[in-house]
């Protein structure tokens, strides 16, 4: 069996365009052997959700330097729960997150929260602790997925099986466009 690795989607939702920290984390995760799908800034919860399904990620990492996370993260959580993916795809949140919001967000289902000043080592440890699929990517067939109860991927939100909607696309760690 191949080595265990994680697929991590990284995005910023809303109007927060400051993404240098997110780009740094993408680099750190790639160096640690994780597959990264980088969507970048100005995303909607639906775009993040649809891309997470399309790329079948283990972790959804959201960065926020504004208070918009209190609007967008609950929507993203509801989308995951609506397709029963909240146990398969874990959400982590980092950036300028008010400490008084952390309990509420964890209660929603956010697995890890990283405040400003978190080290890359702490973030890597948190992602590994967050779980998610962490499935071996090599030698995985459709039959194996079906035995695990993941035989068919659910349709993306509002797209009836089409790819993610929107004008802004990201790139996978292999350089493929995602949208």
Structure confidence by residue, pLDDT tens digits, 113-146: 999 999 999 999 999 998 766 444 443 333 343 3
Q: Which domains does the chain have, with CATH numbers?
A: 7-162 (3.40.50.280)
Is a pLDDT exceeding 70 seen at residue 173?
Answer: no
Handedness of CA 69, 84, 86, 32 (dihedral sign): negative
Q: Looking at residue 130, what is its pLDDT?
A: 86
Sign for the CA dihedral angle at 122, 88, 85, 164 comes to positive
Q: Which residues pair with 171 in a beta bridge?
A: 38, 177
The model's confidence at residue 82, banded by pLDDT at 50, 70 and 90, is very high
pTM, to two decimals: 0.74
Of residues 66 and 60, more confidently modeled: 60
Q: Are 90 and 106 in contact (CB under 8 A)?
A: no
Query: What is the tens place of the pLDDT at every residue in 30-52?
Result: 999 999 999 999 999 999 999 99
CA distance 136 to 33: 12
Instruction: Please provide the average confidence, as pLDDT, over all residues in the chain.
Output: 80
- Judged against a pLDDT cut of 80, whether residue 156 lies above it is answered with no
């Amino acid at each position: 069996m191949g080595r265990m690795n994680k697929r991590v989607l990284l995005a910023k939702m809303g109007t927060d365009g400051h993404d240098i920290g997110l780009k740094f984390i993408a680099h750190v995760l790639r160096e640690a052997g994780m597959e990264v799908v980088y969507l970048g800034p100005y995303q909607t919860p639906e775009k993040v959700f649809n891309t997470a399904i399309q790329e079948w990620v283990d972790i959804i990492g959201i960065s926020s330097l504004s208070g918009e996370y209190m609007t967008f993260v609950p929507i993203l959580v509801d989308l995951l729960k609506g397709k029963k993916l909240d146990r398969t795809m874990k959400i982590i949140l980092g950036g300028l997150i008010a400490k008084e919001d952390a309990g509420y967000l964890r209660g929603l289902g956010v697995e890890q929260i990283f405040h400003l000043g978190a080290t890359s080592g702490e973030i890597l440890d948190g992602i590994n602790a967050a779980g998610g699929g962490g499935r071996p990517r090599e030698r995985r067939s459709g039959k194996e997925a079906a035995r695990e109860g993941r035989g068919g991927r659910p349709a993306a939100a509002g797209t009836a099986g089409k790819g993610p909607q929107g004008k802004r696309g990201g790139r996978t760690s292999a350089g493929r466009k995602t949208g």
